[in-house]
């Protein structure tokens, strides 16, 4: 279990400035999909209750229907939990020294990368479409100096504000490093 | 003209319970793996425990509901493939 006050490879004087997850809209999508998948057969069962009851009373069709129904609803519950785990474990941590990007892709693929703020060249915020404009969420891209790859904060809340904070932190870090005569340490990536 | 007679195969109803049991085993393993992921890599906090509790509680409710419904059936009833048509009952589709 990770603690925000005790990050992996934490440096002296390093503290968390921002802790980001995808916006609540992503969570709402999971809830809506699950409610829809569970609600449609329940509503159909309620509407055709007489037929359903005769099926449930049948010695062969009844148990089959209960077993299939149980498996169906348990699968929806498990699917919702898996999707939630994916949402919950996708995190971006911005400290006063680096950006940590943790991405969960399914259950068996997890990537954790970190990037020194001094290596950041450009930060871009993007809000696209009606929903993103209405609910103020979108993407932030953090481009590094010497790498083709970039960090992508997906569907986060207030991307403009996040971009401003990252830019400010990058400026501060670069100023501190140049004052101390350091060279940017670059990006470290590891697959877990 | 050669007549074929299918052998009369009786499948007990509890075979379906075995299928359900196998599914539950998969469900439990997958859930435990998922909970392990959450606890191993999640951020420490009350929300983490809340989510695991909600998921476990929901699972217990769904399984208990299923068990409650399944208890009423006679699982020793042999299901004969030859007599499959006898299970057809006009009452099953009263609207048709």
Residue B91 Cα to chain centre, angstroms: 25
Report the number of distinct structural domains present in chain B: 1
* Residue recorded with tokens 């504000």: A161
Alpha helices (runs of H) in B1-96, residue ranges in sequence order: 14-41, 46-70
Give A104's contacts in chain B (Cβ within 8 Å). Answer: 37, 41
Does residue B33 sit within a domain? no
Q: Report how far residue A127's alpha carbon sits from residue A137's, in angstroms, rounded to the nearest whole number.
A: 7
Residue B94 lies in a domain: no
DSSP annotation of A148 reads S
A71, B23 in Cβ contact below 8 A? Answer: yes
Angle between helices B46-70 and B14-41 (to 10 degrees): 180
Neighbours of A20 (CB within 10 A): 20
Across the range B84-95, mean pLDDT stands at 56
Q: Give the chain A residue whose CA is nearest to the CA of B24.
A: A71
Question: A69 or A150: whose pLDDT is higher?
Answer: A69
A chain contacts of residue B66, beta-carbon cutoff 8 Å = 66-67, 69-70, 74
Which of B39-61 are b and which e, b meaning 16 or more Cβ less than 10 Å from the residue's Cβ?
A: eebbbeeeebeebbeebeebbee
Is position B57 within any domain?
A: yes
pLDDT at residue A9 above 70? yes
What's the CA gap between A79 and A102, in Å, rounded?
Answer: 21
Determine, yes or no, domain membership for B3. no
Distance CA A129, CA A137 (A): 10
With a cut of 50, say whether residue B25 has pLDDT above it. Answer: yes
Q: What is the pLDDT of residues A168-192, one digit of tens each?
A: 999 998 888 888 775 545 544 444 4
Q: Please tell me if residue A28 touches chain B, with a CB cutoff of 8 Å.
A: no
DSSP A2: B
In a domain, B50, yes or no: yes
A104–B41: do the CB atoms touch at under 8 Å? Answer: yes
ipTM of the complex: 0.81
Share of chain B above pLDDT 70, in %: 76
pLDDT digits (tens, 9 = 90+) for A11-44: 888 889 999 999 998 899 999 999 999 999 999 9
CA pair distance A118, A178, nearest whole angstrom: 10
**Yes or no, beta carbons of A2 and B73 under 8 Å apart:** no
The Cα A170–Cα A141 span in angstroms is 14
CA distance linking residue A137 with residue A159, whole number of Å? 6
- Domains of chain A by residue range: 28-86, 93-191
User: Taking Cα atoms as reference points, which of A57, A22, A38 lies closest to residue B92?
Assistant: A57
Give the pTM.
0.80
What pLDDT does A44 receive? 96
Residue B15 falls within a domain, yes or no? no
Look at residue B34 and tell me if it is in a domain.
no
Q: Which residues of A touch B94 (CB under 8 A)?
A: 50-51, 54
Of the partner residues B51, B58, B77, the one whose CB lies closest to the CB of residue A59: B77
What secondary structure does DSSP assign to A61-91, as a single string? HHHHHHHHHHHHHHHHHHHHHHHHHHHHH-E
Q: Which domain holds residue B72?
A: 44-78
Measured in angstroms, the CA of B47 and the nearest CA of chain A are apart by: 10
Do residue B55 and residue A4 have CB atoms under 8 angstroms apart?
no
The residue that leads in pLDDT, A72 or A60, is A72
Which residue does chain A place closest to B33, by CA atoms? Answer: A107
Pick from A28, A65, A23, A8: nearest CA to A153: A23
Question: Taking CB atoms and an 8 Å cutoff, what residues of chain B touch A84?
Answer: 51
């Amino acid at each position: 279990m990770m603690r925000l006050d005790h990050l992996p490879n934490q440096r002296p004087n390093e503290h968390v400035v921002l802790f980001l997850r995808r916006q609540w809209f992503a969570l709402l999508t999971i809830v809506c999909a699950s409610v829809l998948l569970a609600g449609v057969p329940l509503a159909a069962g309620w509407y055709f209750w007489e037929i359903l009851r005769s099926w449930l009373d049948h010695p062969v069709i009844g148990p089959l229907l209960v077993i299939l129904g149980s498996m169906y609803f348990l699968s929806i519950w498990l699917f919702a939990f898996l999707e939630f785990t994916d949402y919950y474990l996708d995190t971006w941590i911005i400290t006063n020294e680096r950006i940590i990007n943790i991405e969960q892709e399914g259950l068996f693929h997890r990537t954790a990368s970190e990037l020194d703020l001094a290596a950041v060249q450009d930060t871009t915020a993007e809000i696209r479409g009606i929903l993103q404009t209405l609910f103020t969420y979108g993407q932030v891209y953090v481009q590094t100096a010497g790498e083709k790859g970039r960090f992508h904060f997906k569907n986060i809340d207030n991307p403009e504000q996040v971009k401003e904070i990252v830019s400010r932190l990058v400026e501060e870090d670069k100023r501190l490093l140049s004052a101390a005569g350091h060279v940017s340490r670059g990006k470290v990536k590891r697959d877990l | 003209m050669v007549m074929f007679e299918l052998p009369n195969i009786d499948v007990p109803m509890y075979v379906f319970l075995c299928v359900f049991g196998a599914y539950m085993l998969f469900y439990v393993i997958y859930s435990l793996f998922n909970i392990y992921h959450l606890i191993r890599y999640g951020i420490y906090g009350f929300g983490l425990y809340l989510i695991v509790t909600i998921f476990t509680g929901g699972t217990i409710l769904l399984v208990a509901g299923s068990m409650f419904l399944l208890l009423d059936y006679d699982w020793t009833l042999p299901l004969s493939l030859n007599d499959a048509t006898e299970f057809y009952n006009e009452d099953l589709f009263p609207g048709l």
